[in-house]
Amino acid sequence: MVKAEEPKTVYWMENKLYLNITNKCSNCCFFCLKKFKRGVGGFDLKLSEEPSVAQIIEELAKALNIRNWDEVIFCGFGEPTERLDVLLEIARWIKQHSGKPLRIRLNTNGHGYVLNQGRDVAAELKAAGVEKVNVSLNAGDKETYNEICKPTFANAYEAVIDFICKAKSLLEVEATVVRMPEVNVSKAQEVADRLGVKFRIREYIPCFY
């Protein structure tokens, strides 16, 4: 049940603080929660407009004082690198104002280099203070990826692989897949192993019940 209040740019689950900085995404995954729900954990994440840096920082400053968080994660109802400059500015603010060492993680679909052409996305993330990226590999081959993720541009799966290759020398990288009948998990793990990054299976959250 989502609380009857304004959509949030900052929300939390257990001891992790999450940042919902955009609802834009270059994929239209058929399993995406935002197609069926307004939010998670009781928080409304369906943004009525793209939040400003000032708005995000205002919410974040309040949330940082609630408890001692384990980490801050850029993860919401959109792809954070759709707003790379906002992401970087917020990450730098966290490093300057968190009051204690706080790990910053990015959950991404791996399209950052396509969405921000001409920029060294991984290097900029590292410079801003991001330490880890979870990349939604989601499949062990291009055909399955296109079927379940429905990307908005061609060669999206190759873009994910390219992102992982560029990021792994600078950041801690973990490739993930959602466990579902359409996905050959073993084949996806073989891709992650070949790329030399960690691999994790995310359990599918049913949207109809």
Q: What does the pLDDT look like over 45-55, one tens digit per residue?
A: 999 999 999 99
- The answer to whether residue 186 sits within a structural domain is yes
Number of structural domains found in the chain: 1
Return the pLDDT at 36: 79
More confidently predicted of 109 and 3: 109
Res 207: pLDDT: 47
Tokens standing for residue 188: 């996806």
| 4 located within any domain | no
Please report the sign of the dihedral spanned by the C-alpha atoms of residue 102, residue 107, residue 22, residue 81.
Answer: positive
* For residues 115-139, average pLDDT: 98
* High-pLDDT (> 70) share of the chain, %: 95
- Residue-number span of the structural domain to which 80 is assigned: 10-203
HSE-CB at 32 with a 13 A cutoff on CA atoms is 24
Residue 1 within a domain: no
Confidence of residue 23 (pLDDT cuts 50, 70, 90): very high
Q: Is residue 195 part of a domain?
A: yes
Q: What integer pLDDT is reported at residue 209 of this predicted model?
A: 35
**Mean pLDDT throughout 131-155?**
97
Tell me: the pLDDT tens digits for 56-84? 999 999 999 888 899 999 999 999 999 99
- Contact assessment for residue 79 and residue 26, using Cβ atoms and an 8 Å cutoff: yes
- Model confidence at 108: pLDDT above 70: yes
First to last CA, the chain: 13
Residues 171 and 125: beta-carbon distance below 8 Å: yes
Helix (H, G, I), strand (E, B) or coil at 139: coil
Query: Do the domain assignments include residue 52?
Result: yes
Distance CA 21, CA 10 (A): 8
- Tell me if residue 114 falls in helix, strand or coil: helix
Assess if residue 208 is contained within a domain.
no
Residue 208 pLDDT > 90: no
User: What mean pLDDT value characterizes the chain?
Assistant: 93
Q: At residue 150, does pLDDT exceed 60?
A: yes
Pairing mode, strands 103-108 and 71-74: parallel
User: Is position 69 within any domain?
Assistant: yes
Give dist(CA 133, CA 110) in Å, integer.
9
Q: Has residue 176 been placed in a domain?
A: yes
DSSP string, 52-96: PHHHHHHHHHHHHTTS--SEEEE-SSS-GGGGHHHHHHHHHHHHH
SS3 category, 16: strand
Band of residue 1 on the pLDDT scale cut at 50, 70, 90: very low
Token pair belonging to 202: 């995310």
CA pair distance 84, 90, nearest whole angstrom: 10
CATH assignment of the domain containing 101: 3.20.20.70
